Copies of this chain bind each other. A is one copy, B any other.
Amino acid sequence: MRSLIDITDFSVAELDALLQTACDISEHPEKYWDACAHKKLATLFFEPSTRTRLSFEAAMLELGGSVLGFSEAGSSSAAKGESVADTAKTVSNYADIIAMRHPKEGAPYVASKAATVPVINAGDGGHCHPTQTLADLLTIYRENGRLHDLTIGCCGDLKYGRTVHSLLAAMTRYENIKIVLISPEELQLPGYMKYEVLEKNGMSYVETTSLEEAIPELDVLYMTRIQRERFDDPAVYERLKDSYILTVDKLKDAKADMRILHPLPRVNEISVKVDNDPRAAYFRQALNGKYMRMALILKLLDEAAKGAQMEEEQNVVVNELRCENPRCITSTEQELDHTFKCVDAEKGIYRCIYCEAKKQKN
């Protein structure tokens, strides 16, 4: 069964096809009114995320399908101790495709291995959020007219901001992308993102703490929210949360065709007054998210009908290493093999196939 767990599960050609389908949907929505007739999407949201959930539901409904599911773990069997794998197996009897959000990293991957229908990762803790990246890519494509030859600034929480991580991973595959990382020191992009994603793929980047200095050269400014729930110490959150607020004033030196993206929800990191600026693309981005989810559902159901399979993971070791990341699904899911993939044979570097936590093996 083909699923979407990480944005890199799809080739550039596949992403291009999704972009074209999404554009066609936005222009001719009536062509797709019955595309998913008699099909059901299950939205399994083990933590609440209104925007993402409603976007998926709207997507399925606009394809003529229907929706069932839950919006938080309190309403789910998980509260009674059911494993993610069992939930996925059971729900495979009730729906043709699953969109899963889960606080544990790797949970949708576990679900995709157990389910007999395609699984879409709708966000797994701080790990991945590939459909947000699909929304981002379509927005850049439609607003900037291209996915290559761009200078992209990422501003805010680059440490925990999984939407930035996924976007950066996706952009490595396009030509001539320059990245400007704008954040307080406490929230800089993690080292592994710099080394394994940006540098390994030869993508140029600079780091700065100043939004004002960075803004004039940008084609895209990707703002992110500093989330309270990512901090252990509330005091650190309070000190940092207002650091990188985009105001009308800060926009004065930006290019006329720069575009401002934001995964939403926003708290106060973009002034409401910026909304009326034509460069503010974030509400159109939410609309693009719906179109890309429609295209994605169509693609995965089509591949399921054809019997397409996920590629087997290569170079893995099973139950030789133990993942110690408390946010990894291995920390809670019962009878789950601890599986690591070798990412650097010479140095003996392995990563957990669920959460990508790093381990050294001699």
Contacts and interface: CB of A to CB of B under 8 A. Distances in A.
A86 interface: yes
Oligomer: number of copies: 3
A265 interface: yes
Interface string A270-288: 0111010000000100110
A11 interface: no
Given A61-B68, A267-B80, A272-B334, A91 B54 contact: yes
B266 A93 contact: no
A306 B57 CA distance: 27
Contacts of A335: 271-273
Nearest to A336: B272
Interface string A78-119: 111111011101110111000000000000000000000000
A56 B145 CA distance: 41
A80 B265 contact: yes
A265 B49 contact: no
A283 B85 CA distance: 12
B54 A42 contact: yes
Given A61-B66, A61-B68, 8 more contacts: A48-B79, A55-B94, A57-B68, A67-B68, A83-B266, A90-B283, A90-B286, A93-B287
A353 B57 CA distance: 34
A72 B69 contact: no
A345 B79 CA distance: 45
Most buried by B among A86, A89, A273: A86
Contacts of A142: none
A279 B75 CA distance: 31
Contacts of A77: 49-51, 264-265
Contacts of A334: 267-268, 272
Interface of A: 30, 33, 38, 40, 42, 48-51, 54-55, 57-58, 61-62, 66-72, 74-83, 85-87, 89-91, 93-95, 225, 227-228, 264-268, 271-273, 275, 283, 286-287, 290, 334-335
A304 B68 CA distance: 26
Contact of A40 (B58, B68, B76, B82): B58
Contacts of A72: 74-75
Nearest to A64: B38
Contact of A61 (B40, B48, B83): B40
A94 B57 contact: yes
Contacts of A40: 58, 61-62
Contacts of A94: 54-55, 57-58, 290
A80 B42 contact: no
A87 B265 CA distance: 8
A273 B87 CA distance: 16
Contacts of A82: 264-267
A335 B66 CA distance: 37
Contact of A93 (B30, B48, B49, B286): B286
**Nearest 6 Cβ contacts at the A-B interface:** A82-B265, A58-B94, A272-B335, A93-B287, A81-B267, A77-B265
A66 B93 CA distance: 18
A54 B71 CA distance: 13
A15 B223 CA distance: 46
Contact of A69 (B54, B85, B265): B54
Given A80-B227, A265-B80, A51 B85 contact: no
